A and B are shown apart, each in its own frame.
Chain A
Amino acid sequence: MALTLLRGMRTPIVARRDAGLFFTTLQTPLSRFTTRAESAHATEPKAAPKSIQLATKEAAEQKTQGFEAVIGIETHVQLSTVTKAFCSCPYSYGSQPNSTVCPTCMGHPGTLPVLNTKVVECAVKLGLALNCEITMTSKFDRKQYFYPDLPKGYQISQFDIPIAKEGYLDLDLPVEFGGGHRRFGVTRVHMEEDAGKLLHSESGSYSQVDLNRAGVPLLEIVSEPDMRTGIEAAEYGAELQRLVRYLGVSNGNMQEGSLRCDVNVSVRPIGQSKFGTKVEIKNMNSFSAISRAIDYEISRQILLHKEGQADQIVQETRLWDESSQKTFTMRKKEGLADYRYFPEPDLPEVVLTSEYIDEIQKSMPELPEAKRRRYENMGLSMQDVLFLANDDNVARFFDSTLEHGADAKLAANWIMGDIAAYLKNEKLSIDEIKLTPLELSELIASIKNGTISGKIGKEILIELIAKGGTVKSVIEEKDLVQIADPAAIEAMVDQVLADNPKQLEQYRSGKTKLQGFFAGQVMKASKGKANPVLLNKILGEKLKANS
């Protein structure tokens, strides 16, 4: 399942500033279509998946050399609420700098935060989806540090009492990577506000602050250190992305920074219970990059261990560099950062009622894990299950097709086969084509009941995808109803045999594989409409009788 990994591979631009390193991503107008198209052809050999597979293989080999990696992830998800967390400013990615700001999100004197209750709703949704315990009374705290993109000099966050804690995330690893079900622990989910952005001049002589993003609501999801390989970590991130998309709390877009993962990696000799020194890696803007960065980091650390230089592994933040496929030191940690957390006095406690939580619980959609289990129980292969369940648009299309009575396996085959291929060629997503789930189910039924052949079915499908309409109208319009009348087929067979005496001669002298030639001629004469089973049966009888 390289499909998730392929999603969102873009080269980051790394800019070096005198004051430190700052990272920004190109604002590529990356369309979802491309990513869908890529995902449709996961098996196509591509550079990236190859390297992932290689890296994973390497990591696996290294594991056998007596070491294991321990990986934990901190994910920041930007919520797609209409307004910011603590003021009524809107936010939209890519707006003119400082165009969606107000005195409150600019931290002007005397301004006060007022909580957007949608943020709490999103947090509870995600908390429930991650099987967390929801905290009935939580609070906000101030996390204090100085930075020009932080207007108040502190970030409103949650410290010791997060809104949700102690949950887990279930996922199925891609079949190409060995498959398998995994459950990763989720330590906590908490609400906080985003900071602004610094824009640096070309010369490096000055920097500008864009506060559009300041105050935009975030959920931070902290995992338990449960992952052991790059692919596990990447799949954890991908599943989290699916969750926030299913729940509608975020667009989960990594390029826009709506979903950001910081990973902590350490290695230790197998059998040792104490964790090794952990290194934080930042600057990965795709799941593929996460996987590669982690696997690189694991090999780096194992190598140091094996060379007796384990003391060279220090607590630090390293950056993933896409061009060299390596991690580099960004800053060494000088002791523990002291953020001087204390309860935010400007905001009352967040008190939830069980009715409120129940109501949210009731409004929750079916989540990917439940979907996968349901598809699995239909007898679909894991390959099919992952393809269908892991994209909410595809899943919705598939489910709708089934609701119209289609057979699950047949519907899966059509979606994963011809439809996926079309989407890839045309760079479209499944909700952008004219084919409706109803017509797909009609198509499947028409083939099953013999109205049309499978071959005709494929032609009709393309017609429906591109132009829309109903299966029935296309069949009628193009006169595509299968000829299943034995007399009519017999007449056509007779005609073909009569028209090809030479071939008939050869057949009779033992060249029996010419039956295929005759069948083709009959099919051609019927414009493809002859029922192939009937045709072969009648043709066989005729040839036998005539020999």
Chain B
Amino acid sequence: MPPPLQAQRLLLSHRRLPSSHRRRFTAVSSLPSAPAKTVAAGQAPSSILSIRESLLSGERTAAEITADYLSRLRRTEPSVRSFIHVADAAAEREAEELDRRIATEGQDAVGPLAGVLVGVKDNLCTANMPSTGGSRILDGYRPAYDATAVRRLREAGAIVVGKTNLDEFGMGSTTEGSGFQVTTNPWDDSRVPGGSSGGSASAVSARQCVVSLGSDTGGSVRQPASFCGVVGLKPTYGRVSRFGLMAYASSLDVVGCFGSSVVDTATILSVIAGHDKMDSTSSSHDVSDYKSELVPLDLLESKPLNGMRIGIIQETLGEGVETGVISSIKDAASHLEQLGSVVEEVSLPSFSLGLPAYYILALSEASSNLSRYDGIVYRYGRQVSASDLNELYGGSRANGLGHEVKMRILMGTYALSAGYYDAYYKRAQQVRTLVKESFKEALERYDILVSPAAPSAAYKIGEKINDPLAMYAGDIMTVNVNLAGLPALVVPCGFVEGGSTGLPVGLQMIGSPFSEGNLLRLGHIFEQTLQNYSFVPPLLAES
């Protein structure tokens, strides 16, 4: 049996090495192998595991763990602004209740996520907590129900610490499109965290919560994960129930999750995945205990990816992609090669067609899904006073919906209009079929496809706000995956110049439907063996 692979060293500093000193990744086999025993946790330790261990050993109480996170949240929130709503009092109360139950009923009385603080994207409904979708039109709306993903997390013992910021109804790539506030990137507060799940990504990045839920319609989990240097998972369409997720584009929307490690992300997925009778599009496909399928670092063989075939999507490394991003991805690819896999370039001819098709389909569905926000106050939402119906609708929607949302509704309405339907919606559906087929074909030849998660690292706040086309173009890396309904995992893989300490770049790994287990295993090995990088933002090091 080959000697187990060990991490070279644990970066104790929050600060990344200066880029000039950063070593390009070298062959794993050539690494010195004299590890200290304490290093076994690898590069990205599981926060969930450590919480569980301290709770069960009695080392720390849930109240102490919660207080720890809340104090970091209070300290960082003024600059990051991840949360639209912080349920700190409720979180403290729930933590105390957990401690009481552990004291009286024992450790078995609490669920696997006991004491784990979760941030929930505000387009996921939470009972008795504001749920706005980032839109002023839902200001003050408190649903009577939890989204299924939220309910399952709560049932497992997790504590919802608050509702994270997003581009209004998930429409945007920067979180600047929120009706409430602009979230900043924990790596550089002059930059966007990405979007639309920017709040969920920045909250995990800044360790304001342990894990978070997001939603991904065209890259809204993966691109912010890349921008913020966290792990982000977009599951297969139908893997997680959409019940309680405010619909943006129903045929593309999935609930995803963020963690500071692959282990945490896998743990969350096992809890939220599975069929739900409240969502007819949710799948009955078996759910594994994804975490237990991950191979710990100290049990890894020297070439753990032996026999694995990885395709690197040719079209994602060309024009319009930052050179720093390209080199990070190429480094990641050679890392994967070092681990024993075969990495080859693969061409997806329909790749460039995905973006326009995506925008037509997503906006068409959005124009329909957002019709319910009509200002009829009897139901919910804001209403302006008016003397007739059209004025009531027009006024309420003009007043309550933001610019980007209105633009997308108009475009979607146009695409579905009589006389245009065939040229736009129908055509886009045909392209979608092509995209699906070309992925299917490629995934018959390769176990996993990889690409950047975004063509650039986090850009400046305001940089693309007046250039929607540039912002839409930024989704090129991710939208095809939604069109094909495939699962994709983004794992931080490197840095590019920018900010005070560099900006993180994420590697997107794409698999066949319901191959989340594979993706997480690969992501975990990649993460555990990635040397010299720490993805804890400078914001935390400063304090």
Chain B contact residues, majority secondary structure? loop
Selected from A114, A115, A342, the residue in CB contact (under 8 A) with B425 is A342
Interchain CB contact under 8 A, B125 and A110:
yes
- For B278, list chain A residues within 8 Å (CB): 112, 114
A348 to B147 alpha-carbon distance, docked (Å): 20
- B window 144-183: CB within 8 A of A: 144-145, 147
Contact with A along B341-367 (1 / 0, CB 8 A): 000000000000000000000001101
Contact at A152–B371, with CB atoms within 8 Å? yes
Contact A112 B371 (CB under 8 A): no
Nearest 5 A-B pairs (CB), nearest first? A153-B371, A345-B250, A345-B251, A340-B416, A110-B244
A109 adjacent to B143 (CB under 8 Å): yes
CA distance A144 to B415 in the complex (A): 14
User: A421 interface residue, CB < 8 Å from B?
Assistant: no
Interface residues of B in 107-159 (CB under 8 A from A): 123-125, 131, 133, 138, 141, 143-145, 147
Contact pick for B418, options A107, A111, A115, A338, CB 8 Å? A338
Q: Does B187 contact A (CB under 8 A)?
A: no
Asked if A184 lies at the interface with its beta carbon under 8 angstroms from chain B, I say: no
Given A19-B388, A348-B280, check contact A110 B416 (CB 8 Å). no
A154 within 8 A of B: yes
Of B143, B251, B279, B416, the contact of A108 (CB 8 Å cutoff): B143
Q: Which residues of B contact A340 (CB under 8 A)?
A: 367-368, 413, 416-418, 421
Contact status of A342 and B371, CB under 8 A, knowing A112-B242, A114-B280, A209-B378 = no
Interface residues of A in 319-355 (CB under 8 A from B): 336, 338, 340-342, 345-348
Does A12 make an interface contact (CB < 8 A)? Answer: no
8 A Cβ contacts from A185-211 to B = 208-209
Name B's A-contacting residues (CB within 8 A).
123-125, 131, 133, 138, 141, 143-145, 147, 242-247, 249-251, 277-281, 364-365, 367-368, 370-374, 376, 378-380, 388-389, 393, 413, 416-418, 421, 425
Q: How distant is the Cα of A345 from the Cα of B143 in the complex, in angstroms?
A: 23
Provide the residues of chain B in CB contact with A114, threshold 8 Å: 277-280
What's the tally of chain A residues with a CB closer than 8 Å to chain B?
Answer: 33
List 12 contacting pairs A-B, 8 Å CB cutoff, sorted by A.
A19-B389, A106-B379, A108-B379, A110-B125, A112-B243, A144-B368, A146-B389, A151-B376, A153-B374, A340-B416, A345-B281, A345-B365
On chain A, the residues within 8 Å of B417 by CB distance are 338, 340
Residue of A nearest to B244 (CB): A110
B371 & A336 in contact (Cβ 8 Å cutoff): no
Report how far A366 CA is from B513 CA in the complex, Å. 49
Alpha-carbon distance between A279 and B15 when the two chains are bound, in angstroms: 76
Cβ B143 vs Cβ A103 within 8 A: yes
Most buried by B among A109, A345, A348: A109
The answer to whether A346 and B368 have CB atoms under 8 Å apart is: no
**Whole-angstrom distance between the Cβ of B149 and the nearest chain A Cβ:** 11
Q: Once the chains bind, are A103 and B133 in contact (CB under 8 Å)?
A: no
* Pairwise interchain contact A346-B374, C-beta atoms closer than 8 A: no
From B245, B368, B388, contact of A110 by CB (8 A):
B245
B115 to chain A, nearest CB (A): 27
* Segment 455-481 of A: residues with Cβ below 8 Å from B: none
Query: Which residues on B sit within 8 Å (CB–CB) of A346?
Result: 247, 250, 280-281
Query: How distant is B413 from chain A, measured CB to nearest CB, in Å?
Result: 7
Nearest CB of chain A from residue B382's CB, rounded to whole Å? 13
For A147, list chain B residues within 8 Å (CB).
389
Q: Which residue of the partner chain A has the closest CB to B145?
A: A103
Residue of A nearest to B389 (CB): A19
Please name all residues of chain B whose beta carbon is closer than 8 Å to the beta carbon of A148 when the two chains form the complex.
374, 376, 378, 389
Is the C-beta of A311 less than 8 angstroms from some C-beta in chain B?
Answer: no
Residue A113 CB within 8 A of the other chain:
yes
Bound state CA distance, A153 and B369, in angstroms?
Answer: 8
- Closest CB of chain B to A513's CB: distance in Å? 83
Q: Chain A's nearest CB lies how many Å from the CB of B348?
A: 24
Whether the pair A103, B389 counts as a contact (CB closer than 8 A) is: no
Question: Is there an interface contact between B416 and A342, defined as CB atoms closer than 8 Å?
Answer: yes
Report A193 CB to chain B, min CB distance, Å.
Answer: 14
Closest chain-A Cβ to B78's Cβ sits at a distance in Å of 29
Report the bound CA distance from A142 to B281 in whole Å. 16
* A147 smallest CB distance to B (angstroms): 8
Q: In the complex the two chains form, is B368's CB within 8 Å of A109's CB? A: no
Q: Is A44's CB within 8 Å of the partner chain B?
A: no
Q: Residue A359 at the B interface, CB < 8 A? A: no
**Cβ of A342 and Cβ of B376 under 8 Å apart?**
no
Other A-B contacts than A152-B371, A345-B365, 17 sampled, CB-CB below 8 A, are A108-B143, A109-B138, A109-B141, A109-B373, A110-B245, A110-B246, A114-B278, A146-B389, A148-B374, A152-B372, A153-B370, A154-B371, A209-B378, A338-B418, A342-B425, A346-B247, A346-B281
A112 CB contacts on chain B under 8 angstroms: 242-243, 278-281
Interface string of A112-123 (1 = CB under 8 A from B): 111100000000
A109 touches B246 (CB 8 A): yes
In the complex, residue of chain B having the shortest beta-carbon distance to the beta carbon of A113: B280
| Least CB separation from A111: chain B residue | B243
| Distance of A154 Cα from B416 Cα, bound (Å) | 13
> Residues of B contacting A109 with CB < 8 Å?
125, 131, 133, 138, 141, 143, 246-247, 372-373, 380
Partner of A342, one of B244, B281, B421: B421
Complex contact A146–B281 (CB within 8 A): no
- Complex contacts, B389 vs chain A, CB 8 Å: 19, 146-148
Q: Which residues of A contact B138 (CB under 8 A)?
A: 109
Contact of A142 among B131, B368, B376, B380 (CB under 8 A): B368
Query: Residues of B contacting A153 with CB < 8 Å?
Result: 368, 370-372, 374
Cβ 8 A contact of B380, one of A108, A209, A347: A108
CB distance from A331 to the nearest CB of B (A): 14
A144-B368, A146-B374, A154-B368 given; A110·B247 CB < 8 A = yes
Cα–Cα distance between A113 and B280 once the two chains are bound (Å) = 8
User: Contact: B124 with A110, CB < 8 Å?
Assistant: yes
Residues in A neighbouring B380, C-beta threshold 8 A: 108-109
Q: Answer whether residue A18 sits at the interface, using C-beta atoms and an 8 A cutoff.
A: yes
Residues of chain A within 8 A of B277, CB atoms compared: 114
Interface code A141-168, partner B: CB below 8 Å = 1, 0 otherwise?
0101011100111100000000000000
- In the complex, the chain A residue whose C-beta lies closest to that of B251 is A345
Bound CA span A129–B390, Å: 42
**List of A residues within 8 angstroms of B393 by Cβ:** 146
Residues of A close to B371: CB separation below 8 A:
144, 146, 152-154
Cα(A496)–Cα(B181), bound, Å? 113
Given contacts A110-B245, A114-B278, A151-B379, contact A103 B144 (CB under 8 A): yes
The interface centre, meaning the residue of A111, A144, A152, A348 with most chain B CB atoms within 10 A of its CB, is: A111
Contact partners of A111 in chain B: CB under 8 A: 243-244
How many Å lie between the Cα of A106 and that of B143 in the bound state?
12
What is the 8 Å Cβ interface bit string for chain A, positions 53-77, against chain B (1 contact, 0 not)? 0000000000000000000000000
Chain A residues whose C-beta falls within 8 Å of the C-beta of B365 in the assembled complex: 342, 345
> In the complex, what distance in Å separates the CA atom of A14 from the CA atom of B491?
65
CB-based contact B376/A110 at 8 Å: no
Beta-carbon nearest neighbor of A18 in chain B:
B388
Contacts of B421 in A (CB 8 A): 340, 342
Tell me, in angstroms, the Cα distance from A338 to B414 when the chains sit together: 11
Name the B residues within 8 Å of A110 (CB-CB). 123-125, 131, 143, 145, 147, 242-247
